[in-house]
Copies of this chain bind each other. A is one copy, B any other.
Amino acid sequence: MRADLLVRGISQLVTAEGAEPKRGAAMRELKVGEHAALAIVGGNFVWVGPERDWSGDAGETIDAGGCAVVPGLVDPHTHAVWAGDRLADFEARLNGVTYEAILATGGGIRSTIRATAAATEEQLVALALPRITALVRSGATTIEVKSGYGSTAEAELRMLRAIHALAAQAPAWIVPTLLIHVPPKEAAEREAYVRIVCEEMIPRAAREKLAQAVDVFVERGAWSVAEAERMLTAARAHGLRTKLHTEQFHRVGGLELGVKVGALSVDHLEACSAEQVAMLAASSTIATILPGVTLHLGLPAAPGRKLIDAGAAVAIGTDLNPGSSPLYSMQMALALAVRLNGLTAQEALIAGTANAAAALGLRDAGRIEPGLPADFAVLHGADWRELVYTLGANPVRDVWIGGQRVEATA
């Protein structure tokens, strides 16, 4: 075999093994190969194994220097495109001001919607690029980015176009999602907005290939289960996949809707019940947990341990956004999940790689296997567990996407 590039001297080569998560079982386990090497042709892995078993030629050989290699992390849930900041909100909340009072004085999510509306598409891309770069430095190679800071069809579609422009410039694979986030303030306007979503936004997003999935925020004060069902049904009718933000603050039943419509994932789940855990475990929908929100807002953690013990497939995301999770690192999301959600180190790595890819409907990301894109991270140390152990420093040394080194950190 002749490879473009051989990476040798890998102390531990770590990847998830096993089938796609499916009904009744989180099927994957972590495999750690020692003294390993990997070979790349045309941006894809073509060979992975013990270094002593490599017998081919390579155009270029790189020595990993006895460091560990993990799959490129997959961040399956971000709101990385926004304008403005929420520092005043943050300070007010630390000083004891309630979220309702912050909203009433013009802060909160509606201030982000206003600032995002006031920015040009170019400005939105310029603001988002360093956020994506920070996530890449933390080991992420595939990153989902949602719209959701619009309050009209034009505003949401403009956000999706900004995400596409971002994808063209960012050193990562970007997966765009149309998020239906904040309902109109006036109850009388909700019905009209749902129709705009179903009859204009979703059809246009599908036709113009602006999104791969539609996500709806189901919560008291946001969208109801019935409204979400109409929107997600429209999404499926137009060939788009579905996701939900649900069971974040209250047990609202979006989880059941997600299972019913075959959603790729239901995200948040801080408020979900034991019955809902069992229902999710009996489905093929991924449970995406977002520990940055738990840390930032001081809310209860999603029951990651219980979900896995029940047999659900768990993914981890940063939920990067200015209001509830200013978390710019997938590495730290994994590090938080083992501390706040009860995952083991192995479970966290699977949740941040193969399962996170499944939460995006991707079969070709999050694993190091021949035939898949050569997306991987080389750590500073020899033991891959440093990836979830380390707090406040970056254990990731180099990040490779499609066989190209895109980031090298100190």
**A interface residues with partner B (beta carbon < 8 Å):** 85, 87, 90-91, 94-95, 134, 137-138, 292, 295-296, 298, 318, 325-329, 331-333, 336, 338-340, 343-345, 383, 385-386, 389-393, 409-410
Q: Please, which residues of chain B bring their CB within 8 A of the CB of A87?
A: 383, 385-386, 389
Distance between Cα atoms of A325 and B86 in the complex (Å):
29
* CB <8 Å contact, B329 and A91: no
- New A-B contacts (11) at CB < 8 Å, excluding given A87-B383, A90-B389, A295-B391: A87-B386, A91-B344, A94-B344, A138-B392, A292-B392, A296-B339, A318-B392, A326-B389, A327-B391, A328-B390, A329-B391
* CB <8 Å contact, A327 and B134: no
Question: Counting chain B CB atoms within 10 Å of each CB, which of A87, A332, A392 scores highest?
Answer: A392
* CB <8 Å contact, A329 and B410: no
Q: Please, which residues of chain B bring their CB within 8 A of the CB of A327?
A: 391-392
Distance between Cα atoms of A326 and B345 in the complex (Å):
15
Distance between Cα atoms of A389 and B338 in the complex (Å):
22
Q: Please, which residues of chain B bring their CB within 8 A of the CB of A336?
A: 295
Give me 7 A-to-B residue pairs in the complex whose CB atoms sit less than 8 angstroms apart, sorted by A's number.
Answer: A87-B389, A90-B345, A91-B385, A292-B392, A328-B390, A328-B393, A332-B391
- Contact (A326, B85) CB under 8 Å given A95-B344, A385-B91: no
Distance between Cα atoms of A343 and B391 in the complex (Å):
20
Distance between Cα atoms of A326 and B388 in the complex (Å):
11
Distance between Cα atoms of A80 and B165 in the complex (Å):
44
Q: How far is the CB of A7 from chain B (nearest CB, A)?
A: 23
The 3 A-B pairs with the shortest beta carbon distances in the complex, nearest first, are: A329-B392, A328-B393, A332-B392
* CB <8 Å contact, A94 and B343: yes
* CB <8 Å contact, B328 and A298: no
Distance between Cα atoms of A392 and B392 in the complex (Å):
7
* CB <8 Å contact, B393 and A134: yes
What residue in chain B is nearest A393 (Cβ atoms)? Answer: B328
Q: How far is the CB of A241 from chain B (nearest CB, A)?
A: 27
Q: Please, which residues of chain B bring their CB within 8 A of the CB of A409?
A: 410
* CB <8 Å contact, A392 and B328: yes
Question: Counting chain B CB atoms within 10 Å of each CB, which of A91, A340, A383 scores highest?
Answer: A91
Q: Please, which residues of chain B bring their CB within 8 A of the CB of A333?
A: 392
Q: Please, which residues of chain B bring their CB within 8 A of the CB of A389?
A: 87, 90, 326
Distance between Cα atoms of A391 and B336 in the complex (Å):
11
Q: Please, which residues of chain B bring their CB within 8 A of the CB of A292?
A: 391-392
What residue in chain B is nearest A88 (Cβ atoms)? Answer: B385
Distance between Cα atoms of A87 and B387 in the complex (Å):
11
Distance between Cα atoms of A59 and B318 in the complex (Å):
46
- Contact (A392, B134) CB under 8 Å given A295-B339, A298-B339: yes
- Contact (A90, B392) CB under 8 Å given A95-B344, A296-B339, A344-B95: no
